[in-house]
Amino acid sequence: MADDFATQLRRARQHTIGDLLRRAAHRYPDRTAIQCGAVAWTYSEFDHICNRLARGLIERGIDPGDRVAIVSRNSHVFAAVRYALARAGAVLVPINFMLNEDEIAYILRSSGAKAVAVGPEFTGVCRAAMAKDTNVEWMFALPGEDQPADPDVELDFEAVLEPDAAPVYVDLDDTMLAQIVYTSGTEALPKGAMLTHGAVMWQYVSCIVEGSMQSDDVMLHALPLYHCAQLDVFLGPAIYLGMKNIIIGQAHPDIILPLLERERITSFFAPPTVWIALLRSPLFDQTDLSALEKCYYGASIMPVEVLKEMQQRLPQVRLWNLYGQTEIAPLATVLPPEDQLRKPGSAGQPVLNVETRVVDDDMRDIGVGEVGEIVHRSPQLLSGYYNDTERTKAAFEGG
């Protein structure tokens, strides 16, 4: 009886990535959660799809702690895989779809992935990678934004779904691993940053507060979801809040600009290269962008002349520069709208749940204008590099 009560208590207090979607579905059951191509799911429908997928993964042998990789462009089912794995207690391993078979094989081996979800264009490279001394037991095919799942793969997304859409009860807590995101940095072989549910969710809070995100925003997700920026700085907080999310597979101006107008998008993230491409597109001045209110950039500094041009051509838009690393889930600092032209080139100040310093080799704060190393203290931090004690120790020494 004590064990039963302890389990009930844990469930009553449970707070994981999968729980965030369930709560949003209770608040906004009929609001559109995910729209991609011809598919539109309300929050209630999305919640049920993720329950069915989680049950299907569990039925096929995916246990808590098992790693499941995904190689796919953005799609509605990419989002479903993310939340279904979180509910099953499994660990998401997102892989850059531009990698070759040897690079994908390294990540599959390193992570010990048990299964792989693969988008329509990537079956061949994934099969070749799986054959290179990995532990992958099975693959399932995902449809894309406007493509069906590869029929040559024995198991597809629809076949994995179980009929029962009731909630999945797996004994989880926020200290459990949610994802392993591989990052190369300046070294030859990628290392797997381990991020718990708690680390990712603390980061969501930082994003929501610092990015002035609200539940009635309509957000466009155009950059790859395999990258932690689009996945965790934008999609995760958007689902947490109950926003409407438009997902597309390619970040091309000819696709983005008509969508911004047609869907009355209010919120959008892109690196400076994409923003510049949008500004240079012949479609830009023909597009009604009056709904756009909050825009974000990162990955590199926005040129001052481009900032001025954006301010002139999009006068209603507020702009944020976001900076961080995979290891901090990944948002660390933010430069808010009022500082874009006052402090151009700056990465801003630490976000709500982060302390940041710039230090010398002895962990002493350096002076203005001096070169040093950026260090962070935060509940958002990785718990270590997967199966790499040495690099984990090096990352945390002196902190």
Please report the pLDDT score of residue 397 as a whole number: 79
Specify the pLDDT at position 185: 56
**Cβ(36)–Cβ(145) under 8 Å?**
yes
What is the Cα–Cα distance from 377 to 354, expressed in whole angstroms? 6
CA distance 382 to 199: 7
Which residue ranges form the domains of the chain, and what is each CATH number?
15-355 (3.40.50.12780)
> What region does 320 belong to: left with phi over 0, alpha with psi -120 to 50, or beta?
beta
For the beta carbon of residue 28, count every other beta carbon within 10 angstroms.
Answer: 19
User: What pLDDT was estimated at residue 3?
Assistant: 66
For residues 336-348, b (16+ Cβ closer than 10 Å) or e, as one string? Answer: beebbeeebeebb
Cα separation of 90 and 50, whole Å?
A: 13
Q: Which amino acid is at 149?
A: A
d(CA 196, CA 396): 17
Q: How far apart are CA 22 and CA 181, in angstroms?
A: 24
CB-based contact 325:347 (threshold 8 Å): no
Among 336, 335, 371, 333, CA closest to 353: 333
Burial call 40-57: b when 16+ CB within 10 Å, e when fewer? ebbbbbbbbbbbbbbbbb
3-state secondary structure of 231: helix
DSSP label at residue 162: -
Average pLDDT, 10 consecutive residues per value, the chain (399 residues): 75 94 98 98 98 98 98 98 98 97 97 98 98 98 97 97 96 96 78 97 98 98 98 98 97 98 98 97 98 96 95 97 97 98 94 96 91 95 96 81
314: number of Cβ within 10 Å:
19
How far is Cα 238 from Cα 108, in angstroms, rounded to an integer?
A: 29
Tokens read off for 59: 């039925």
Q: What span, in angstroms and rounded, lies between the C-alpha atoms of 169 and 172?
A: 9
Could you give the CA distance from residue 287 to residue 307 in angstroms, rounded to a whole number? 19
Q: Which of 197, 179, 168 is nearest to 53 (CA)?
A: 168
Helices (H), the chain: 2-13, 17-27, 43-59, 76-88, 101-111, 123-130, 157-160, 197-210, 228, 236-241, 253-262, 272-280, 304-313, 389-396
Q: Which amino acid is it at 154?
A: E
Q: Which of 192, 98, 147, 129 lies closest to 139, judged by CA? A: 129
Enter the tokens of residue 68: 């499941």
Q: How many CB atoms lie under 10 A from the CB of residue 363?
A: 13
For 105, other C-beta atoms within 10 Å of its C-beta total: 21
Q: Give the SS3 label for residue 17.
A: helix
Amino acid identity, residue 185?
A: G
Cis ω before 237 (30° cut-off from 0): no
Q: How far apart are CA 193 and CA 23, in angstroms?
A: 28
